[in-house]
Amino acid sequence: MSIYLRLALPLLPILCGGSAAARDPARTEMSAPARPCMTRDVAIDAKSLHFVICAGRRHGPVVLLEAGATLDSSEWTEVIARLAGRTDATIIAYDRAGMGRSQALDTPYDIVQEVDRLHAGLRKLRLNRPLLMVGHSYGGYLIQLYAHRYPADVMGLVYVDANTVQGIGGVEGAKALIDPVIEADRGGKGKFNDMRLAYGYVAATEVMTRIPPPAQVPVTVITQGAADLPGAEPESRRWRAGHHALAAATGGCMIYADGAGHMIPTEKPAIVVDAILAMLRSPHITTCRF
């Protein structure tokens, strides 16, 4: 498997069912949030979306955590545990359709529908205001599209080693990335746990080619590894170049997660937490303040 596939959709262990760090029961128990969280299942189009909600100050900001492809809300266990004791913002993670405890859909994957179902769920929960959205990997596509469709609901975006159209290599890059996954599935050898998304991934990238990075809200871009990547493969350099271009286009803050791979939320959760807190403290400032 190429490094490109490991970067753009979470690493090989994730493709095969989930990260040990995110799913280890002992680690989850040790990392209990500093305030209680509850779960809610919300019916959208007769199918439930599962939300994890750590309630905060009434009418205060909401931090929405969007997981990467093949992952669910448990990806954010370590981030939530650290964040809950340091802010009175409401914190939300959720499972997309067919992942975790959310019901699957029997329709072809549609990235716009994905975002609209999240919006409908947040409206039913009365938590669609103002959102600081944090997107890891494929979640970067989703928070960017959400900000484009519902700009009045979004106060800021934090991209965590996120997909970008440039980093993926455009539509052709998306095809090269996902074709082996689809071929394996058709041959009965697939281990990818979200084939609905896999079959819709190229179409999702096509949609994102028409969705510019947001210019109206503060942006922070967190990328894996040190600032200097000597000897990196071309796919790795393109992935990093996409993050640089995103920060430049938005006037955003660029943060290097030195020592982390793609799974920054579980490998270096403190970096994600600090970026969220900085934006909550200074929502109208786009420079790095830690």
**What distance in Å separates the CA atoms of residue 32 and residue 42, rounded to the nearest whole number?**
24
Are 252 and 221 in contact by the 8 Å Cβ rule? The answer is yes
In the numeric block, which tokens belong to residue 204?
């999702």
In sign, the C-alpha dihedral spanning 19, 12, 219, 232 is positive
Question: Which single residue is written with the structure tokens 């109208």?
Answer: 284
**What distance in Å separates the CA atoms of residue 255 and residue 234, rounded to the nearest whole number?**
21
- Tell me the Cα Rg of the chain: 17
pLDDT higher than threshold 50 for residue 26? no
**What distance in Å separates the CA atoms of residue 290 and residue 274, rounded to the nearest whole number?**
7
159 Cβ neighbours under 8 A, 6+ residues apart: 135, 140, 143, 144, 219, 220, 221, 222, 243, 246
1 Cβ neighbours under 8 A, 6+ residues apart: 12, 180
Q: How confident is the model at residue 283 (pLDDT cuts 50, 70, 90)?
A: confident
pLDDT one-digit tens code per residue, 218-235: 999 999 998 887 777 899
Give me the residue spans of the domains in the chain: 3-281
Q: How confident is the model at residue 287 (pLDDT cuts 50, 70, 90)?
A: low
pLDDT one-digit tens code per residue, 234-278: 999 999 999 999 999 999 999 999 999 999 999 999 999 999 999
Percent helix, strand and coil across the chain, each to the nearest 5: 45, 15, 40
Question: Which single residue is written with the structure tokens 């954010």?
Answer: 76
As a whole-number percent, the residues of the chain with pLDDT over 90 amount to 77
Are 219 and 253 in contact by the 8 Å Cβ rule? The answer is yes
Task: Determine which of 26-30, 156-160, 181-185 has the lowest per-residue pLDDT on average.
Answer: 26-30
pLDDT value of residue 86: 95
Are 105 and 54 in contact by the 8 Å Cβ rule? The answer is no
Kindly state the average pLDDT of the residues 107-130.
96
pLDDT one-digit tens code per residue, 56-78: 998 899 999 999 999 999 999 99
For 13, the 3-state DSSP assignment is: helix
54 vs 2: which has the higher pLDDT: 54
Q: How confident is the model at residue 32 (pLDDT cuts 50, 70, 90)?
A: low
pTM of the full predicted structure? Answer: 0.89
pLDDT value of residue 36: 87
- CATH architecture, domain 3-281: 3-Layer(aba) Sandwich (3.40)
pLDDT higher than threshold 50 for residue 197? yes
pLDDT value of residue 17: 34
